[in-house]
Amino acid sequence: MDVAKCAIVSVAETVLLLKLGRVGRHGFLDQAFGLFVGQYIAFKLYFVLIWPFLVSPLRHLPGPKGGNLVLGQLLNQVKALPSELEKKWMADAQDAPFIRYLSFLNTEVLMVNSARAHKAVLQTKCYSFVKPKYYERVVGEIAGHGILFMEGEEHKKQRKLLLAPFSFSNIKRLLPFFEVKAREMSGIIKSQLGPDGYNVLEVSELLSKTTLDVVGLAALGYELNSLSTPSQLATSYGKIFEFATPLQILISVVHQFVPIRQWLPLKTNQSFVEANATVRKILREHIQKRKSEFREGLIKGEKANRDLLTLMIEESKDTWSEDEMLGYVVTALPADVSPSGHETTAGALTWTLYALTLHTKVQDRLRAEVLSTVTSSSPSYEELDNMRFLNNVMKEVLRYYPPAPTFPRQAAEDVEIEGVRIPQGTLIMIAPAAPQYNTHIWGPNAEQFDPDRYDHLPEPANDPYVSLAFSAGPRVCIGKSFAILEFKAILTELIRNFSFENTGLVEPQKSGPSLRPLNGMRLKVRLVS
């Protein structure tokens, strides 16, 4: 756009100079090009060095001062822990609707801050905001370009089609899938304990494999077997997620501007491209198989035993095209692993175990509740649902360690929210930790991990727009009920069988898009007698 504007102005100026006789016909192109380059540089310098500081209507909003002359807060964000800066910025202006900070080339970003501003961005004016193109290019490489990146009417249509398979009643039926994988995981842990029933184990990878296997089985009816003997699909997925190396991130960023993915002759890049192609090929074949099973009337037996993909084919009477299905499938798998390229359910479970090692009384109370409620090796939905303390622990983990620490939007048009006029194109950042750590909302102990707070919440904390781990509004996580039930089933299986102690070795990773443990989550694990 800037290029187009500068080109038009340069041509107009050159035509004027031509009319004034200041440039000959033969020098027209040279003159226009020279003007274009000069003006483009001046234009860019103005928007980097002058506009954000002296002209922008957003410059008076509260927000961090200082930062790098050209990169704004970007370097500080790279050095900080996920959510660390957002919490600090919120604490300096707790009731402001938006916090403004500068990022790469001093681009202005508005972090949504108050409950009312979150309601406007996520609910009432949801479709006035879109996912920024840079985000789609990077995350879409993994998560595909399915519902996560659809906008407006197309998003509404796709969402409507997915509502039935993801409905609460369907999700309840998936419980056996969750439990079978949870038991497989606890079997593996038991096999790794010493004769005295004790060992130090790395639990985060195990949880990632478990949740990947769960979503494969429950959402797609596909045995990924990453816990035991990984299928080709699981291995290829693993390779895609090796994407989190600095080199892969660099390639992904460059690919946003120059499409280098297909030809860059680096081994790491080629392995990413091949793995991505393999994943899509296997998934396409899987969909074709399911569709022909449906057409030939081979899908029989209890509806309860069906995965979401099969239910979708049945409920849509096979009217979805293969590509539409692929959009769902490619989104569902990594969406559990991440709506923005990293872990969600597995991350929540990993940090739950960590929190339980820091708060041993909470761990003891949770185990006591589980042991007194669950009567068989496969807890029923009602048993999981009735455990009030388990529910409180889960909510507190999602408040304290939001698994998707930030997710972006961009204003698709000029919008006014809470008296702030947001120009079209402005980048918006949603950081669940901002409202979730606000003492004006949660009370003076917002910084503490306290599952009991849900038994006596202050009134502002009941607002649905202050608990945003799953986002809210028309684009709220469609897998929320799935994730909650999966979380409860896996945690119940773990806590009734094992106790967890801190090794003092866990350190959160800096500069990551999610709060990952730096060298995995190594905990002391003991068999519960």
Binding site for ligand HEM (CB under 6 A): 147-148, 159, 215, 219, 331-332, 335-336, 339, 344-345, 348, 403-404, 407, 469-471, 475, 477-479, 482-483
Q: Which is nearer to ligand HEM, 203 or 215 (CB)?
A: 215
Q: What is the DSSP letter of 71?
A: T
Provide the minimum distance between the beta carbon of 354 and ligand HEM in the complex, in angstroms, as a whole number.
15
Provide the minimum distance between the beta carbon of 97 and ligand HEM in the complex, in angstroms, as a whole number.
19
Judge whether 477 is annotated as a binding position: yes
Cα-to-chain-centroid distance, residue 154: 21
Q: Which is nearer to ligand HEM, 174 or 495 (CB)?
A: 174
Q: What is the DSSP letter of 298?
A: -
Provide the minimum distance between the beta carbon of 187 and ligand HEM in the complex, in angstroms, as a whole number.
23
Q: Which is nearer to ligand HEM, 35 or 429 (CB)?
A: 429
Provide the minimum distance between the beta carbon of 407 and ligand HEM in the complex, in angstroms, as a whole number.
4
Cα-to-chain-centroid distance, residue 272: 20
Q: According to DSSP H, which parts of 47-128 are helical? A: 74-79, 84-92, 115-119
- Cβ 207 vs Cβ 350: under 8 Å: yes
- Cβ 207 vs Cβ 243: under 8 Å: no
Provide the minimum distance between the beta carbon of 150 and ligand HEM in the complex, in angstroms, as a whole number.
7
d(CA 333, CA 261): 22
Give the count of beta carbons closer than 10 Å to the beta carbon of residue 310. Answer: 19
- Cβ 430 vs Cβ 112: under 8 Å: yes
- Cβ 387 vs Cβ 496: under 8 Å: no
Provide the minimum distance between the beta carbon of 349 and ligand HEM in the complex, in angstroms, as a whole number.
8
Q: Which is nearer to ligand HEM, 470 or 500 (CB)?
A: 470
Provide the minimum distance between the beta carbon of 399 and ligand HEM in the complex, in angstroms, as a whole number.
11
Q: Which is nearer to ligand HEM, 379 or 403 (CB)?
A: 403
Q: Which is nearer to ligand HEM, 159 or 510 (CB)?
A: 159
Closest CB to ligand HEM: residue number: 479
Provide the minimum distance between the beta carbon of 132 and ligand HEM in the complex, in angstroms, as a whole number.
10
What residues contact residue 32 under an 8 Å CB cut-off, 6+ apart? 10, 11, 13, 14
Tell me the three-class secondary structure of 348-405, residue by residue: HHHHHHHHHHHCHHHHHHHHHHHHHHCCCCCCCHHHHHHCHHHHHHHHHHHHHCCCCC
Q: Tell me which residue of 333, 346, 332 sits closest to 491, measured CA to CA.
A: 346
Q: Which is nearer to ligand HEM, 147 or 203 (CB)?
A: 147
What residues contact residue 85 under an 8 Å CB cut-off, 6+ apart? 64, 73, 76, 77
Q: Which is nearer to ligand HEM, 219 or 491 (CB)?
A: 219
Q: What are phi and psi of 517, to 5 degrees?
A: -70, 135
Binding-site annotation, residues for heme: 477
Binding-site annotation, residues: 477
